[in-house]
A and B are shown apart, each in its own frame.
Chain A
Amino acid sequence: MAIINTLAAILVNGLQQGAIFALLGIGLTIILGTMKFLNLAHGALYLLGAYLGLVISQEVTLSNSLLLGFVSDPSAFGLNLSFTVALVLVPLIMFVVGVLMERTVARPFYDRGEVDQLLVTFGLAIVAAEVVKQLMGPNPFPKYNPSTMLGIDVSHPVTLPFAGTFPAWRLLVVVIAFVTIAITYLLIERTDFGLVVQAGTRDSEMVRLLGIDINRSYMVVFGIGAALAGFAGLIGGTIINLTPAMGTDNALVPAFLTIVVGGAGSVVGAILAGFLLGTILAAMQLFYSQWATIVMYSFVAVILITKPEGLFGSVEVEE
């Protein structure tokens, strides 16, 4: 059946795109919900994740790079470890980046109003993109498809019922993203740490009065958000070519669209909205690719106008 095949193809593509949106959205939304901090540098974290993944898992040729004078062999730059190693290392490194960012950048701005937060993180996003551009060169790097993952050879296509053939690694990437999303969900919804975070989104002062060190939770939340964004970048690097502009173009704007559709502060909302937007984008790309982004943006505008609290958000989260 042709229709079922098409639908299945849309679903697989939508899940992959949606997983990236959801990962970005969760990170952004827990930072926004917990600390009331608007992070326009979230796309920069995605960018860093993608390039870290590249350097860890591949060997690339550098050109127009500031590093040219410092590396012994510019035609083989990178650790050339496996994609699996990157899967572990990238989130870890990004977690540390997130913690540092919370301490140095975010904390002084908690009391300075939304506009100042947007401005300073927007500036940071530019700086991060430019640093990557200077270090790695302005030219795009081809997307890195992993050939083996977790010891399994994933370079071969597999045939799915209805959907047709897909490269095995793409399916595995979707599965890993799902597992990560599920773990994050459980962490926020089912653990004591998550309870503190959730309480913090309602009334951070009360949490502090109860004797809980909310500053430490803030650091951890920011770290988790950054790790998720970096992880999204790692996955993003397997489906689109890497450019220094990918952080703002392919991550920042979609991440904000995801959280406003899902409802700011809502993890479940971010997950569902991510997959919804991903599926819309995938479906439109299949039929009217020129209109794909336009339809997605228009959809978001309609949601924002008709349901300002988001599809899955609660009204309590302040605007």
Chain B
Amino acid sequence: MSTDDRTPNLVDRFVALKQQEWFLFTTVAVALLVFPWALIDGLEIVAEFIKTDIGGYTGLPALILIYGIVVIGFNILLGYTGLLSFGHAAFFGGSAYTAALLTRSGFIPELLIKSPILMILIGSLLAVLLAWFIGFLSIRRSGVYFAVLTLTFGQVMYYYAMGPGGWLTNGDDGFTPDPGELLGHFALDQSFPGDLPVLGDLPFLSTLLTDWFYVLVAVTTFLAVVVGYRILKSPYGLIFEALGQNEQRVNFVGLNVFRYKLMAFVISAVFAGVGGALYAMQTLTLHPNGSLYWIISGDFVIMTALGGVGTLFGPIIGAGIFEYIRLVLSGIEIAGYEFGGMWRLLLGGAFVLIIVLFPSGLYGGIKNVASSIAVRFGNTTGRTRERPEHEPAERGGDD
């Protein structure tokens, strides 16, 4: 290679730049800014070419990010700490219902909250309390016992919401939240920037950011990424990762395994709670099947593992693929054949293949390729934090 003898070369510089925090966060912010355009208009251009309607629609970008927020947290639990929960729908749906109930006077007439931001705060507060309770009781068990315990708690909530709790949740008929205006002024479905005078002169912003709800979701996602990143880079996050690799050694070092596992569980529940509250604003009717049922917990598992456990961005990509297949590809026709109900089959098949072939998920697979490119063409960086070969690295990934 001709570039081999020059240090540092372009690849090295790029790798070094990538490790800078500000670069990462700026990239995320820019990505969030152009995401709706890329998903809707960008794909529409492609759709024109291939004569197949593969473009997204308004509302899809926000929905993908909502699940993205949830799985950032879920991944801290599954990808790093190595705990597989089948009960995160409890936090997602619990928060969604709490947030939604407060927006309707039927629940507590004196306590009427018409503020999306308060909905998020109160919803995630409930998720924290729930997670503390469920986690405290479940964390002592591992593996299948932990999975079943979290599942049972989640299912209790689901069946309560469907049956005896119908007076509160409206059961099978669904509950219609009424989130009100952001900061008491901007309706969520109002197009951005509305009557905000300062930004009114920037036409490209209003094209990119579709409505105020997307702005809220994008800002929340940005915060979620920053918080998630900081947690994983902190000593706390390192202990989570250590727990996933060898719990016993962490215990031998003298750390309180139970406490750290519980914290990972609660932290992941906060993300699920934030996502749940946003979901309550996005959806027209909140139904237990779409929020509390254990299949929703399963969806979080699929999204996370599909994109790549143990990577910060993998699960978000997984959420995007999942929702895109579920909501867009499910509607398209290829050669006169309607995909329709096949989406879940496609997704399930892809999921199985990825688990079998790439244990570290799609993003993990791409990252491996990228890092081998960096090693091939760069000469100073690229493999700095790679684990030794002999160590079994079932849950790979390192950022």
Contacts and interface: CB of A to CB of B under 8 A. Distances in A.
Interface of A: 32, 38, 108, 112-116, 118-120, 122-124, 126-127, 129-131, 133-134, 138, 248, 253, 256-257, 260, 264, 290-291, 293-294, 297-298, 300-301, 304-305, 308, 319
Interface residues of B, number: 42
Contacts of B78: 115
A32 to B, nearest CB: 8
B156 A294 contact: yes
B155 A116 contact: no
A149 to B, nearest CB: 34
Interface string B278-309: 00000000000000001100100110010000
Given A293-B159, A308-B140, A123 B152 contact: no
29 contacts: A108-B356, A115-B78, A115-B395, A119-B84, A119-B301, A123-B302, A123-B348, A123-B349, A123-B355, A127-B349, A133-B341, A134-B341, A134-B342, A248-B295, A256-B151, A257-B148, A291-B163, A293-B155, A294-B159, A294-B160, A297-B155, A300-B148, A301-B156, A304-B148, A304-B152, A308-B140, A308-B145, A319-B141, A319-B145
Contacts, number: 115
Interface string B141-161: 111110111011101100110
A239 B149 CA distance: 28
Contacts of A319: 141-145
Given A122-B301, A291-B163, A308-B140, A130 B344 contact: yes
A260 B144 contact: yes
B82 interface: yes
Contacts of B147: 118
B180 interface: no
Given A127-B348, A130-B345, A301 B137 contact: yes
Interface string B337-363: 000011011011101100110010000
Contact of A130 (B137, B149, B160, B348): B348
A246 to B, nearest CB: 13
Query: Of residues A112, A127, A138, A298, which shows the largest number of chain B Cβ atoms within 10 Å of its Cβ?
Result: A127
Interface of B: 78, 82, 84, 137, 140-145, 147-149, 151-153, 155-156, 159-160, 163-164, 294-295, 298, 301-302, 305, 341-342, 344-345, 347-349, 351-352, 355-356, 359, 394-395
A70 to B, nearest CB: 15
A207 B144 CA distance: 25
Contacts of B347: 126
A115 B84 contact: yes
A131 B352 CA distance: 14
A184 B305 CA distance: 37
B155 A122 contact: no
A316 to B, nearest CB: 15
Nearest to A114: B143
A42 B264 CA distance: 30
A294 B295 contact: no
A43 to B, nearest CB: 12
Contact of A119 (B164, B345, B355): B355
Nearest to B163: A290
Indicate the member of A126, A305, A308 with the most B CB atoms within 10 Å: A126
A116 B355 contact: yes
Given A32-B144, A119-B305, A260-B144, 5 more contacts: A38-B144, A123-B352, A253-B155, A291-B164, A297-B152
Contacts of B395: 115
Contacts of B140: 308
Nearest to B156: A297
Contact of A294 (B164, B349, B351): B164
Nearest to B166: A290
Contact of B344 (A124, A126, A300): A126
A126 B84 contact: no
Nearest to B347: A126
A304 to B, nearest CB: 5
A315 B303 CA distance: 35
Sort A-B residue pairs by CB-CB distance and give the 5 closest, nearest first. Answer: A126-B348, A130-B345, A123-B352, A290-B163, A123-B351
A138 B341 CA distance: 9
B348 A301 contact: no
Contact of A257 (B142, B152, B341): B152
Contacts of B151: 253, 256
Contacts of B144: 32, 38, 114, 118, 256, 260, 264, 319
A291 B141 CA distance: 26
Nearest to B293: A249
A8 B301 CA distance: 43
A260 B145 CA distance: 7
B155 A304 contact: no
A133 B348 CA distance: 13
Given A115-B82, A115-B84, A253-B294, A120 B355 contact: yes
Nearest to A32: B144
Contacts of B295: 248
Contacts of A38: 143-144
Contact of B153 (A122, A293, A301): A301
A112 B144 CA distance: 15
Given A118-B147, A133-B341, A253-B151, A298 B156 contact: yes
B219 to A, nearest CB: 32
A115 B351 CA distance: 14
Nearest to B352: A123
Contacts of B142: 319
A120 to B, nearest CB: 5
Nearest to A294: B159
A127 B345 contact: yes
B148 A260 contact: yes
Contacts of B148: 256-257, 260, 300, 304
Contacts of B294: 253
A260 B160 CA distance: 22
B52 to A, nearest CB: 21
Contacts of B394: 112-113, 115-116
Contacts of A248: 295
A73 B345 CA distance: 26
Contacts of B152: 257, 297-298, 300-301, 304
A178 B308 CA distance: 45
Contacts of A290: 163-164
A119 B295 CA distance: 13
A297 B159 CA distance: 10
